[in-house]
Structure 1
Amino acid sequence: MLYELRIYYIHPGRMQAINDRFANHTLNIFSRIGMKVTDFWEDTDAESNKLVYVMEFANREERDAKFEIFRNDPEWQKARNESELDGAIVERVESVFLKQAAYFNR
């Protein structure tokens, strides 16, 4: 199993916009495409403007294929464009690819 830790650095004043976009659009699109989000967090330091989540994939090929479908999805493109009418939301995204340590059992 491949896990992707995604860290979104949000422009100041745009945290509500990213939360609304995930709640009202992105998570539904992920689900429709078969993209599994395992957990979601907001940084407790409101000044940091970070949103963090983890996704689970069988392997890197599945991850890349599903994100390609997502990026080209008309519903996603519409939601992104409409949510950014007042300006960009995400400054940058950091991705870290992880595998579970062999000695750890959940």
Structure 2
Amino acid sequence: MIYELRVYTTIPGRLPNLLARFENHTLRIWEKHGIRQLGFWYVFRLFSDLIVRLWLWSPINPIVLVYLTIVKLILVDRTTLVGPDANDLTYMLAWESLAEREQKWDAFFNDPEWIEARANSEKDGAINAKVASSFLVPTKFSAIQ
């Protein structure tokens, strides 16, 4: 089994549009084509992790930098650190092989229902700023095979 970890970084403020597209269209079309999803996650960033990072890299008071970072996230990037107001969505898919992935992705991307759903969801502009994929193969001692 090959696992694909995908991270979508949306344009600020567009994550709700991506979530709605997955919930209302994408998952149903995936099911039709036999694409197996294992789960979806928001990225959770610990406040203490921000403080530690800023402490290590900042010549000024880390508390001030944390405050400035949060203000920038909320006012400039219009995002929060977690949840539907954030910008990142992570999900995982399971494949028997890369050949299966290629065959099923091709069928999905050429599905007229998907083409229409994507066009309708992006009529006010693009949703994603970036999409990244990593392929994971479990070790022999992994709990998940």
TM-score scaled to structure 1, two decimals? 0.94
Higher helix share: 2
Name the structure 1 match of 2:20.
20
Structure 1 position 39, deviation (Å): 0.9
**In 1, are the aligned partners of 2:15 and 2:86 still within 8 Å (CA)?**
no
Aligned mate of 1:58, from 96, 99, 107: 96
Higher strand share: 1
Aligned-pair Cα RMSD in Å: 1.2
Aligned mate of 1:88, from 112, 126, 130: 126
Q: Rg: which structure is higher?
A: 2
Q: Percent of counterpart pairs with the same letter?
A: 41
TM-score scaled to structure 2, two decimals? 0.70
The answer to whether residue 112 in structure 2 is matched with residue 74 in structure 1 is: yes
Q: Which runs of 4+ in 1 moved over 6 A?
A: none
Q: Which ranges in structure 1 are unaligned for 5 or more consecutive residues?
A: none
Aligned mate of 1:97, from 125, 135, 141: 135
Q: Which ranges in structure 2 are unaligned for 5 or more consecutive residues?
A: 45-80
Within 1, Cα distance between the matches of 2:9 and 2:143? 31
